[in-house]
Amino acid sequence: MSITGIMNGLNSSLNSLNKVHGAQSSSIQKIATGSSHPSASYGPSDYAIIQRTYSNIGAVSQSNSNSQTANSMLSTAAGAVNETVSNLTSLRSTLLEAANGTNANTDRAALQKSVEQTIASIDDNASVTYNGKRLLDGTQSLTVAGENGYNTVNLGNMTSYGLGLTDSEGKSTIDLTDASSISDALDKVDSALNAATDQATSIGAAQQGLTYQSSNYTTTQENLEATATTMDGTDIAKESVNLASANTQEQMALFAIKQGLQSLSQQTVGALGGLNNHSRGAAASMLM
């Protein structure tokens, strides 16, 4: 075979080796990443669609997390409000007991102490915090960020002052020492009880909505992940076969290159045989 023929064979083998290395690299990337489109070079349009899908999955996942965290915060507030409703119910019973005509002044004085203790408990409930935020002092509204916008839940003032049970100086407005003031006290407690019950109902409705929202986000995320897997999931078994085949082809190409180089060496030596020593050395230098 002529040197030209051998060189053509070597070039063909080198080209085959380059293609095999590309196939190996492709299979290794797909297996390592689990993606059939690890970069845009594997299909620009498919890659763009898949990346948007992954972006949507991330947004839905974060929205779901936000909903669950907000629900946890509302659960903390709900527990405190429920305690306040219980306190106010107990307070109303105390007022009705004080309104009974069989009570002496000393009895009403003792009941007044019970009223003060209950009001203090209501303020304790209102001091509940979540992540360092006081939830029920009238300063908080909960904004839940979701994929489709924002949802705001207002939290009212559940302190004794906010409920009208104390004045701006913290002094109780519920006075049982005078029998004639008990009717007014009952009106204030009923108003406070209505406000606390409304707040509990409002929080409960918001929690129900967030639970439903979280369920929808979970379903949406599962569907998006299934879509991404269908579009982008790597068939590991198939790529493993491809990689094994590429490895075999690599060995064949390397063998062909080795054989070609040996043939080229023999042809070169033969061509130099007819030259004198001086010419042979110059020719050998040109090939080195």
Among residues 189, 182, 172, which one has the least CA distance to residue 113?
172
Q: Looking at beta carbons, which pairs linking 18-24 to residues 24 or more positions away fall under 8 Å?
A: 20/246, 20/249, 20/250, 20/253, 21/250, 23/242, 23/246, 23/249, 24/243, 24/246, 24/247, 24/250
Per-residue H/E/C for 181-212: HHHHHHHHHHHHHHHHHHHHHHHHHHHHHHHH
Among residues 125, 136, 121, which one has the least CA distance to residue 172?
121
Q: Which residues share a beta bridge with 152?
A: 143
Q: What is the share, in percent, of the chain residues with pLDDT greater than 90? A: 37
pLDDT at residue 45, rounded to an integer: 77
d(CA 231, CA 227): 6
Q: Quick: pLDDT tens for 146-183.
A: 877 788 888 999 999 999 999 999 999 998 877 778 88
> Regarding predicted confidence, which is higher, 274 or 149?
149
d(CA 225, CA 45): 19
H/E stretch holding 133 reads strand 133-134
Whether the per-residue pLDDT at 20 is higher than 80: the answer is no
pLDDT at residue 278, rounded to an integer: 47
d(CA 178, CA 14): 107
pLDDT at residue 108, rounded to an integer: 80
Instruction: Show the tokens assigned to 116.
Output: 């003060």
Whether the per-residue pLDDT at 66 is higher than 50: the answer is yes
Q: Quick: pLDDT tens for 176-223.
A: 877 778 889 999 999 999 999 999 999 999 999 999 989 999 999 999
Among residues 255, 115, 100, which one has the least CA distance to residue 179?
100
pLDDT at residue 1, rounded to an integer: 59
d(CA 153, CA 137): 14
> Regarding predicted confidence, which is higher, 233 or 90?
90
Q: Which residues of 80-108 are buried (b: 16+ CB within 10 A; e: fewer)?
A: bbbbbbebbeebbebbebbbeeebeeeeb
Whether the per-residue pLDDT at 56 is higher than 60: the answer is yes
Paired sense of beta strands 133-134 and 129-130, if any: antiparallel
d(CA 16, CA 18): 5
Whether the per-residue pLDDT at 40 is higher than 90: the answer is no
pLDDT band of residue 90 (cuts 50, 70, 90) is very high
User: What's the mean pLDDT in 68-93?
Assistant: 95
d(CA 180, CA 120): 24
Q: Give the other-Cβ count within 10 Å of 17's Cβ.
A: 17
pLDDT at residue 280, rounded to an integer: 41
pLDDT band of residue 285 (cuts 50, 70, 90) is very low
d(CA 66, CA 146): 7
**Residue found by looking up tokens 């119910």 in the block:** 89
d(CA 77, CA 15): 70
Task: Establish how many alpha carbons lie within 13 A of residue 121's alpha carbon, considering only the half-sphere containing its beta carbon.
Answer: 17
User: What's the mean pLDDT in 250-266?
Assistant: 71
- Integer CA distances (angstroms), 105 to 96, 176, 182, 183, in order: 15, 9, 13, 16
